[in-house]
Amino acid sequence: MRATLVTLRSEPVSATAFSAPSLAQAFVAAAGVVGRVSEGESLSVALADLKRTAPAQALAAAAQDLSYNALRGYGVVDVALERLLKKPLTDSPLRGLLLAAMAELAARPQSAHAVVHQAVEAAVLLGHSRAKNLVNAVMRSFQRRMDAMLPEIEATEPGRYRHPQWWIDALRSAYPGEWQTVLLESNRHPPMVLRVNRRRLSIPAYLDKLAQAGIPARPLGHEAVLLEKPCRVEKLPGFTAGEVSIQDTGAQRAARLLDPRDGMRVLDACAAPGGKTGHILELADCEVVAVDADRERTRRIAENLARLELSARVVVGDCRNPEDFWEGRPFDRILVDAPCSASGVVRRHPDIKWLRRRADALAFGRTQAQLLDALWPVLASDGKLLYATCSVFAEENSEQVRSFLIRHPEAEVLPLAGLGEGQILPSAETDGFFYALLRRRG
The domain ranges of the chain are: 15-156, 192-247, 251-440
The residue-averaged pLDDT of 226-250 equals: 96
* pLDDT band, very low/low/confident/very high, at 178 (cuts 50, 70, 90): very high
**Quick check: 93 pLDDT over 80?**
yes
**Quick check: 1 pLDDT over 50?**
no
Q: Give the CA distances from residue 414 to residues 107, 123, 338, 374, 425, in Å, rounded to whole numbers and listed in that order.
A: 48, 58, 19, 20, 20
Q: What is the pLDDT of residue 383?
A: 98
**Overall size of the chain counted in residues:** 442
Beta strands across the sheet bearing 224-227: 217-221, 224-227, 193-196, 244-246
Domain 192-247 class, CATH top level: alpha beta
What residues are labeled active site?
A: 390
Contact 9, 106 (CB under 8 A): yes
CATH architecture of 15-156: Orthogonal Bundle (1.10)
Query: What is the Cα 128 distance to its own chain's centre?
Result: 33
Contact 393, 361 (CB under 8 A): yes
**Tens-digit pLDDT profile for residues 308-346:** 999 999 999 999 999 989 999 999 999 999 999 999 999
The superfamily CATH assigns to domain 251-440 is Vaccinia Virus protein VP39 (3.40.50.150)
Spatial separation of the C-alpha atoms in residues 87 and 74, rounded to whole Å: 19
Indicate the pTM of the whole model: 0.90
**Tens-digit pLDDT profile for residues 406-442:** 999 999 999 998 899 999 999 999 999 999 999 999 7
Spatial separation of the C-alpha atoms in residues 435 and 423, rounded to whole Å: 7
> Among candidates 352, 341, 343, 276, which has minimal Cα distance to 312?
276
Q: Give the CA distances from residue 80 to residues 73, 139, 148, 256, 362, in Å, rounded to whole numbers and listed in that order.
A: 11, 11, 11, 46, 32
Q: What is the pLDDT of residue 56?
A: 84
**Quick check: 9 pLDDT over 80?**
no
Give bridge partners of residue 411 from the DSSP assignment: 440
**2 vs 336 pLDDT, higher one:** 336
